[in-house]
Amino acid sequence: MHALITGGCGFIGSHLAEVLLAEGDRVTVVDDLSTGRFGNVAHLAGRPGFSFVIETIANQEVMDRLVSACDVIYHLAAAVGVELIVRDPVRVIETNVVGSETVLRIAARYGRKVVLASTSEVYGKSEAVPFAEDADRVLGPTTHSRWSYACSKAMDEFLALAYGKRDALPVVIARLFNTVGPRQTGRYGMVVPRLVRQALAAWRAAGSCCETGE
pLDDT of residue 198: 62
- Max Cα-Cα span within the chain: 71
Q: How far apart are CA 44 and CA 19, in angstroms?
A: 11
Q: Which residues are catalytic?
A: 149
Average pLDDT over residues 8-29: 96
Q: How far apart are CA 70 and CA 78, in angstroms?
A: 20
Q: Tell how strand 171-176 and strand 50-54 pair up.
A: unpaired
pLDDT of residue 91: 85
| Burial zone of 193 (CB within 10 Å; 0-12 exposed, 13-18 middle, 19+ buried) | middle
The mean of the pLDDT values for the chain is: 88
- Kindly report the CA angle at 172 between 123 and 177, in degrees rounded to 5? 35
pLDDT of residue 58: 93
**Residues 86-145 pLDDT 10s:** 788 888 888 899 999 999 999 999 999 999 999 999 999 888 888 888 888 889 998 888
Higher per-residue pLDDT: 5 or 132:
5
**Residues 157-197 pLDDT 10s:** 999 999 999 999 999 999 998 777 776 665 554 555 555 66
Strands (E), 62-201: 72-75, 113-119, 171-176
pLDDT of residue 74: 98
